[in-house]
């Protein structure tokens, strides 16, 4: 424990600090609870997104086989992501990215020469691309929430296990010291008074 001054000013400082810690701790505890809930829900959303992506990947398998029959340069040029827009949402005091829109460009192709399954295959690829982008955003959301939860949990522990007990112990030590000083002062006063009275009695 750090050395403290055993004075009335230090006692006031420690009492003020204790009041601040006790006032701030419930706010931190509430934020920790909110973050724990959000992290749990974030993990559930991520697990759902993984299941959906896997289901979509399974749905895409037949089309992927058909894509393999096309010249590679054609397959690469048919579908491109023009824009992937994200927004921001505040969760328990921190900003996390959220999906807004995906703009996909499909290159023009000859409808008479293209295979009949191409439209459905391109739609599946677009949906799969969107699912993967949403998945990466959910992973980033969860990562930020878990990091914030870690930081807030450390602060709660710091207040509960260090700051508040230290301030309480410092107040106790200062009170004991000041009480002892006051007792000693009273004792010295009584002794001095008794000596004065004895001296005055001798002088008479």
pLDDT of residue 125: 77
How much is the average pLDDT of 51-55? 90
pLDDT of residue 99: 86
Judged against a pLDDT cut of 90, whether residue 13 lies above it is answered with yes
Percent over 90 (pLDDT), the chain: 43
Residues 6+ apart with CB under 8 A from 97: 86, 87, 88, 89, 137, 140, 141
Contact between residue 55 and residue 119 where contact means Cβ atoms under 8 Å apart: no
pLDDT tens sequence across 103-113: 888 777 777 77
Percent over 70 (pLDDT), the chain: 79
User: Long-range pairs for 34-38 at CB < 8 Å and ≥24 separation?
Assistant: 34/92, 35/92, 35/145, 35/148, 35/149, 35/152, 36/149, 38/91, 38/92, 38/145
pLDDT tens sequence across 82-127: 888 889 989 878 898 888 888 888 777 777 777 777 777 778 778 8
pLDDT of residue 81: 77
Q: Of 76, 69, 42, 58, which Cα lies nearest the Cα of 128?
A: 58
How much is the average pLDDT of 44-48? 96
Contact between residue 141 and residue 97 where contact means Cβ atoms under 8 Å apart: yes
- The terminus-to-terminus CA distance of the chain in angstroms comes to 56
pLDDT of residue 204: 58
């Amino acid at each position: 424990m750090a050395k403290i001054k055993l004075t009335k000013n230090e006692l006031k400082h420690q009492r003020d600090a204790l009041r601040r810690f006790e006032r701030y701790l419930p706010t931190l505890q509430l934020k920790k609870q909110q973050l724990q809930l959000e992290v749990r829900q974030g993990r559930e959303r991520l697990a759902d997104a993984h299941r959906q992506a896997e289901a979509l990947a399974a749905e895409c398998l037949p089309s992927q086989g058909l894509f393999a029959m096309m010249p590679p340069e054609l397959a690469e040029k048919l579908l491109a992501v023009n824009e992937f827009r994200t927004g921001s949402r505040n969760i328990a005091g921190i900003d996390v990215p959220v999906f807004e829109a995906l703009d996909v460009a499909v290159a023009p192709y000859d409808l008479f020469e293209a295979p009949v399954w191409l439209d459905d295959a391109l739609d599946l690829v677009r949906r799969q691309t969107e699912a993967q982008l949403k998945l990466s955003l959910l992973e980033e959301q969860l990562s930020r929430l878990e990091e914030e939860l870690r930081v807030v949990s450390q602060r709660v522990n710091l207040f509960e296990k260090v700051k508040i007990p230290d301030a309480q112990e410092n107040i106790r030590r200062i009170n004991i010291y000041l009480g002892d000083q006051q007792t000693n002062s009273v004792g010295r006063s009584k002794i001095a008074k008794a000596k004065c009275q004895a001296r005055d009695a001798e002088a008479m």
